[in-house]
Amino acid sequence: MSEPSEVPKKEEQEEEVTAEPEVQSDDSSEDEAAGDTEMDFLRSLFSSALGLGSAEKVLDELSLEGVARYVKSGKCKNIICMVGAGISTSAGIPDFRSPDTGLYANLQKYNLPYPEAIFQIDYFKKHPEPFFALAKELYPGQFKPTICHYFIKMLKDKGLLRRCYTQNIDTLERVAGLEGEDLIEAHGTFYTSHCVSFCCKKEYNLDWMKEKIFSDAIPKCDKCSSLVKPDIVFFGENLPARFFTSMKMDFPRCDLLIVMGTSLQVQPFASLVSRVSKSCPRLLINMEKTGQADPMLGLLGFGGGMDFDSDKAYRDVAHISTCDDGCLALADLLGWKVELEELVKKEHARIDSQDKNETAGESKGAATKGDPGSAELKAKAED
């Protein structure tokens, strides 16, 4: 699932296929981070009201071209990407809220009391069947990374990516070549799973969970027979501790924030845009403008939301397009377009070849199991 895991406690889910809660963790580090967030807000509030703090203009123009010139200047070395379901829709994974094609619009068949229940931890523990039926439809490994995913990988390869913060749980960032250190999977991931029993918590890998889901079996722990749940964040669960500890290190160092494919409606993820310095440029690539500052707070000089259109705008750029088109346009301005297109073509061919080999292996295994004699004759004939 790509966005099924995005939510703050009981806030609405974001337009991503990632379950998402707004949470603090029970770790003391997360409690401290939550306190830091409140203090940061108060500091920002007072500094804005009193006219304190610098707001240096870094971009020579509030446009995609201006962002590209800044990247090419060599002054930009710590890019953070914040991404949501919009970067995965071109791979075939639905977002949450599109009226006809979104995930919530197509859950009637599961007879849920309300759409969000499928990602609510208490409901899941009592009725896991709807979630695992949906998981079978959207399971990682059935989709290929998009142009946008590979653009982020290029940022890494060129030594420009500090971190990618994702709301998605589809693991496509990993498939595209980002590693655990490159990622903060804010709303969890299908990459690992754990027994829900507090006394057990045994870990399971992606292949184990896949075998259970595709055999239409409810995953149960081999050790204690309790339910096993993918490590995605459901409504009512805590965000990973690493989300809170990493954001305190990463965002003060960020010199370009690129936000893609998210409506920036779910906390605490959405608040990350305000954690960069006042001089840090922020680029939004999305189908509509999101994350804008509250107008009333803006009049008072408060708030850390995006400002694309006011007379005071000096660092925020909105490029309205699909995420793939926006990444291609930026890559073109950077002189990377051909390289990006070749990377996508090569990696998709590799994935197709790998899938073909796996399918052939499964077919051969099934033939051997069903009719050992004929499989043996066929193998000899091929030799």
Domain ranges of the chain: 56-91+145-187+241-352, 94-142+189-232
The reported pTM is 0.77
pLDDT at 1 (0 to 100):
42
Examine the residue annotation and report whether 319 is marked as an active-site residue of this protein.
Answer: no
**Confidence class of residue 323 from pLDDT cuts 50, 70 and 90?**
very high
Annotated binding site, which residues? 85-89, 95-97, 167-170, 195, 200, 221, 224, 262-263, 286-288, 323
Residue 272 has pLDDT above 50, yes or no: yes
Residue 61 has pLDDT above 60, yes or no: yes
Domain spanning 94-142+189-232: CATH 3.30.1600.10: yes
Number of neighbours of residue 99 by Cβ within 10 angstroms: 7
Residue 36 has pLDDT above 70, yes or no: no
**Confidence class of residue 369 from pLDDT cuts 50, 70 and 90?**
low
Residue 155 has pLDDT above 60, yes or no: yes
Distance between alpha carbon 356 and the CA centroid of its chain, in Å?
27
Task: Please count the CA atoms within 13 angstroms of the CA of 19 that sit on its side-chain side.
Answer: 29
CB 95 within 8 A of CB 89: yes
**Mean per-residue pLDDT, 197-212:** 92
Annotated binding site for Zn(2+), which residues? 195, 200, 221, 224
- According to CATH, the superfamily of the domain at 56-91+145-187+241-352 is TPP-binding domain (3.40.50.1220)
**Confidence class of residue 74 from pLDDT cuts 50, 70 and 90?**
very high
How high does pLDDT run on average in the chain?
80
Among 187, 194, 319, 348, the active-site one is 187
Q: What percent of the chain has pLDDT over 70?
A: 72
More confident residue, 46 or 6: 46
CB 155 within 8 A of CB 79: yes
Q: What percent of the chain has pLDDT over 90?
A: 51
Tell me, yes or no, if the two domains 56-91+145-187+241-352 and 94-142+189-232 fold the same way. no
